[in-house]
A and B are shown apart, each in its own frame.
Chain A
Amino acid sequence: MTLSTASSMANSVTWVQEGETESRPPLSLRDVHIVYSSRRGPVQAVRGVSFDLHGGESLALIGESGSGKTTLGLGIVRLLVKTARITQGAIRYRRDGREMDVLALEGPELRRFRWKECAMVFQSALNAFNPVIRIWDQFWDTARAHGWSDRRAVRQKALELLRFVQLDADRVIDAYPHELSGGMRQRVLIALSLLLDPQILILDEPTTALDILTQRTIMDLLRRLKEELHFTMIFISHDLAIAAELADRVATMYAGTVVELGPSEAIFYQPRHPYTLGLIRAVPTVTGGYEELYSIPGSPPDLIDLPSGCKFHPRCPFATERCRKEEPPLEKVGEHHLAACWHWTEVAAELGRTPLHRRTPNA
């Protein structure tokens, strides 16, 4: 794909760019499509995702398995497997007045972008480490690969970061990955991702598979990254709780595309897409008293053989003939709030008739 087609495509995207008066967002995605090739045919994992990530904000990408959220994260840092291709769209990255076309990056430039500008923390903390080298060597290898040569300075910085993530730095730095618990490994991984002072941090399921009390330490750490260090972050998670706790904005993904995007409060209390509403009504709280829960009928679509029209229509209680034929675009449904549903006003009305179960905790 050439640069010019990418930018012309970006211009053809219709929805409004938020915050045009502020400084330009560090990351902009326009109409990004990612396709995996498979024996059965092309898998449309990401279909036309556009959003801006503003400086210092945390955005949660939520959705179920197969919604395309992890693929999108990998696409942003250009770490997709060989069978995947970004077939369309543009990703632009900005820092200190410079702008780069992420999809055009190659070789050393791409490597610099990956850790120094935009770092990704992967889901499985154990698999992300080389099991036969010590934590210190993981730091040193990373630093060296990015052109550092001062061992002492790197060690100093590594110790500082390990302390920041509340680990016993002097002990942990000489440990092997298997000697650390899951929560400790996750914290080391976060420290490692911060080594090169990236502007953006992408965290894929940062708390999944961790115990509750360990989850809490990770959540608190991420909150400090957000509140004290003002990191710009993307959380990828199937867990609505991490979005509720840490995100300024939430994007719901379904069948490879963003179906709703808005401020966290709006998404949780005034969802306008039936799928977001369905997810919220399917998840219990712990301290919220007794709740009536509802499941979403059916199962997620086959990404090789997607339904016509709106991809959610086979599972949607609001679906009409139009939904079977035309896929709705993201449109404005409130202040900074977008949803892709032909019937979002009906979703609002339904919410008025049957309010969310969780507004009156411990009444």
Chain B
Amino acid sequence: MAPIIEARHITKTFGRGKEQVVAVDAVSFAIQEGEILCLVGESGCGKSTTGRMIAGLLPPTAGEILFEGRPISQMAPEEYRRYRHAVQIIHQDPYASLNPVQTVQQILVTPLLRHRKVDGPSGARKRALELLEIVDLTPPEDFLNKYPHQLSGGQRQRVSVARALTVEPRFIVADEAVSMVDVSIRVSLLNMLTRLKEEFHVTFLFITHDLALAKYFAWHGRITVMYLGRIVEDGPTPRVIQDPRHPYTQALLSAVPEADPELTRRKRRMELRSADIPSLLALPSGCTFHPRCPYFVEGECDVNVPPLEPISEGGRVACPVRKSEPIQLLA
């Protein structure tokens, strides 16, 4: 069966001429129905731009996005509408993405009626209550007449999820969806999203800069690591986290502080050749990580763009120099 979402060499450039920025550079991946794919990377790596293109909020400059095997650029209006309903996005900041002068009821009922998902206002109210129940805002009656500012950050994000669910999506792009929420309630939000996957077979593209969150949410899925607009490594989550092969993934994993004193002490640090991230306006030649990479090979890494090649342990790595070399993350 065709993957629910496939990206084929999608590229996004902003600006033109000397000011042109390549935010996403020929990125390809496929997501099967029911899967979780985590897109991780630092700011400016193109993960959010990729997410926005997948959700149809931004057209790719080049390349093609396929929904159930059909290129969205070739879809007829009716088919395109179905795709836009099926793929929803949840943004990072629920305070910015919810209309502050609408009550939770209005926020949920408007799309339900607009897209004729229910029969009339009483059906819409009933459905809104069900949706609130699904996102664990209980008892739901207590929330219908609240405004976003009367809710906590976690509750607001649950309302965003409920709103996304009004159109019965099959695919959700969650862009840093729990990053702004306090630690103690993050896990319950993630567990709620996991339940959507299990009960409603929603497929997830989960975008985050937080490797620990990616690991937890996508343990049974896959992780894709991006750096300056390109995928540098992907694969099943346990493989990428425990046996990273791309020097950038290794650098991230060795650098990330751990919420455990003993573990953090046992970690082996990787020294980079440069601490500074290059500007998107002046990307390095060849492998864009080469000016920082400790394994830099002159005449190779600064000349050739490394291809993303499969490795036998699972997934793909864009580093011909190091892809077959496991490292020890812990001493």
Chain A: residues with CB nearer than 8 A to chain B?
A: 64-65, 166, 181, 183, 207, 211-217, 219, 238-245, 264-265, 268, 278-280, 282-291, 293-297, 299-300, 358, 361-362
Contacts and interface: CB of A to CB of B under 8 A. Distances in A.
Contact of A282 (B184, B238, B266, B329): B184
A238 B255 CA distance: 19
Nearest to A168: B276
8 contacts: A211-B277, A212-B42, A213-B275, A239-B259, A244-B264, A282-B186, A295-B191, A358-B263
A284 B212 contact: yes
B259 A240 contact: yes
B263 A285 contact: yes
Nearest to B45: A211
Contacts of A362: 242, 329-330
A282 B43 CA distance: 25
A284 B42 contact: no
Interface string B133-154: 0000000000000000000111
A220 to B, nearest CB: 8
B188 interface: yes
B187 A287 contact: no
Contacts, number: 142
Given A238-B183, A268-B261, 13 more contacts: A64-B184, A181-B276, A181-B277, A183-B275, A214-B277, A241-B264, A268-B259, A282-B186, A284-B213, A285-B258, A286-B258, A295-B188, A299-B152
B219 interface: yes
B263 A213 contact: no
Majority SS at the chain B contact face:
helix
B216 interface: yes
Nearest to B242: A362
A283 B257 CA distance: 12
Given A213-B272, A213-B277, A287-B267, A64 B182 contact: yes
B135 to A, nearest CB: 14
B298 interface: no
Contact of A212 (B154, B189, B211, B213): B211
A285 B277 contact: no
B275 A217 contact: yes
Contact of B252 (A212, A244, A282, A285): A212
B185 interface: yes
Given A293-B216, A295-B187, A215 B275 contact: no
Nearest to B329: A287
B92 interface: no
B8 interface: no
Given A241-B259, A244-B257, A211 B186 contact: no
A181 B213 CA distance: 25
Nearest to B237: A290
A64 B209 CA distance: 20
Contact of B259 (A214, A216, A219, A285): A285
B188 A284 contact: no
Contacts of B190: 293
A213 B255 contact: yes
Nearest to B275: A217
B164 interface: no
Nearest to A65: B182
Interface residues of B, number: 47
Dominant secondary structure of chain A at its interface with chain B: loop
A241 to B, nearest CB: 4
Contacts of A166: 275
B279 to A, nearest CB: 10
Given A215-B255, A295-B191, A240 B183 contact: yes
Contacts of A293: 187, 190, 216
A361 B253 CA distance: 14
The 5 A-B pairs at the shortest CB distance, nearest first, are namely A295-B188, A295-B187, A241-B257, A216-B255, A240-B259
B251 interface: yes
A278 B182 CA distance: 12
B9 interface: no
Contacts of A295: 184-189, 191
A227 to B, nearest CB: 13
Contacts of A183: 275
Given A166-B275, A286-B215, A212 B256 contact: yes
Contacts of B42: 211-213
B226 interface: no
Contact of B257 (A65, A215, A299, A358): A215
Contacts of A294: 187
Contacts of B272: 213
A286 B241 contact: yes
A283 B264 contact: no
A115 to B, nearest CB: 28
B155 interface: yes
A43 to B, nearest CB: 16
B183 A64 contact: yes
Nearest to A285: B258
Contacts of A214: 275, 277
B260 interface: yes
A279 B277 contact: no
B263 to A, nearest CB: 5
Interface in B171-193: 182-191
- Which of B188, B216, B259, B329 has most chain A Cβ within 10 Å? B259
Interface in B116-163: 152-155
Contacts of B238: 290
Given A212-B209, A268-B261, A291 B216 contact: yes
A82 to B, nearest CB: 24
Given A240-B259, A294-B187, A295-B184, A287 B219 contact: no
Contact of B263 (A65, A215, A216, A288): A288
B187 to A, nearest CB: 4
Nearest to A247: B261
Contacts of B188: 295, 297
Contacts of A244: 257-261, 263-264
B251 A213 contact: yes
A242 B261 CA distance: 9
A285 B264 CA distance: 10
B181 to A, nearest CB: 10
